[in-house]
Chain A
Amino acid sequence: MDIPFGYVLALAGIVVVLGMVCAVARRNLIMILLGVEVMLNGAAIAFIGAALRWQQLEGQAFVLFIIAIAAAEVSLGLALIVHLYHHTGSLNPEDYKVLK
């Protein structure tokens, strides 16, 4: 096995950049939340690679907490999206202009 650690970091970076493009460019709240999930996944890949690179278990422990935080974030985010959809009838973030 002779994969340089940099390849893993490059893969994680590509995944994070894909998630960032999705979160910034799409005009749909659900797709924005999906982009955030993809970014968290890229961070988890980087942590797993680092755990293998330095032979430490801290990286794997961090991935466990990343998964927990992703679950909490997604449940709350989707609840907020449903709430907003019932109030405004739209999922386009550009339609949310009224602070009420």
Chain B
Amino acid sequence: MTLFNMLFFAIAALIVASTGIAITRRNLVHAVIYLIFGFFGSAFLFYLFGSPFLAALMVIVYAGAIMILFLFIIMMLRVESPEERLFPPRQTLPAVLFAAAYVVIGGLLLVNDPCAAAPLVAVSTEPSVFGRYIFTHSWLAVEMASLLLLVAMIGALLVGKRPVREGKE
């Protein structure tokens, strides 16, 4: 077993464990902190799979910006664990049933797929190569993504405005 394989399995275990802990926390702040660990694991995985630029982006945007936004909102709303039961059986039963069905079907697909047995070959993409590729092949999608972010910002501004005190309507 090479070092690469050991690293992959360690990172995979880290991602699954921290995500699993995160989704079962009652305290929202703890959940977000554990999820930050999970996203760090994803960033390591991206680096291992040869895209250092996306690994950096994962740390900066996902673990840095998105999760901190969650922390801000949780602390701003000051919710203290409104769930009396963490996993109410009425909702957990369908969730577990769907999850089991997907795991079984996905496992069968993976076992029977000849494509899935192909070993990966390690390569690394330089950020400059990646940037040139993005801006020559999918510049339109980049523009659309920037427009989407602008629209989301305007929408968040509109939705987040404090309601004006007007009489009962």
Contacts and interface: CB of A to CB of B under 8 A. Distances in A.
A3 B120 contact: yes
B156 to A, nearest CB: 4
A41 B62 contact: yes
Contacts of B57: 64, 67
Contact of A74 (B12, B20, B46, B69): B69
Given A48-B54, A69-B148, A75-B156, A2 B45 contact: no
Contact of A81 (B22, B73, B151): B73
B69 A68 contact: no
A35 to B, nearest CB: 7
Contacts of A3: 4-5, 8, 119-120
A57 B92 contact: no
Given A27-B83, A28-B83, A73-B152, A1 B120 contact: yes
Contact of A79 (B46, B111, B160): B160
Contact of A2 (B2, B39, B70, B107): B2
A75 B153 contact: yes
Contacts of A64: 54, 57, 134, 145
A55 B45 contact: no
A92 B77 CA distance: 13
B47 to A, nearest CB: 10
Contact of A90 (B15, B82, B129, B145): B82
Which among B51, B65, B87, B107 has the highest number of chain A CB atoms within 10 Å? Answer: B51
B118 interface: yes
Nearest to B74: A30
Interface in B117-136: 117-123, 125, 129-130, 133-134
Nearest to B109: A9
B164 interface: no
A99 to B, nearest CB: 15
Interface string A49-91: 1011101011011011101111111111011111101110011
A91 to B, nearest CB: 5
28 contacts: A1-B119, A1-B121, A3-B8, A5-B116, A5-B119, A5-B120, A7-B8, A8-B120, A13-B103, A18-B19, A20-B102, A27-B83, A27-B88, A38-B19, A44-B58, A45-B42, A48-B49, A49-B120, A52-B121, A55-B123, A61-B133, A63-B46, A70-B66, A72-B151, A79-B157, A79-B160, A91-B79, A91-B82
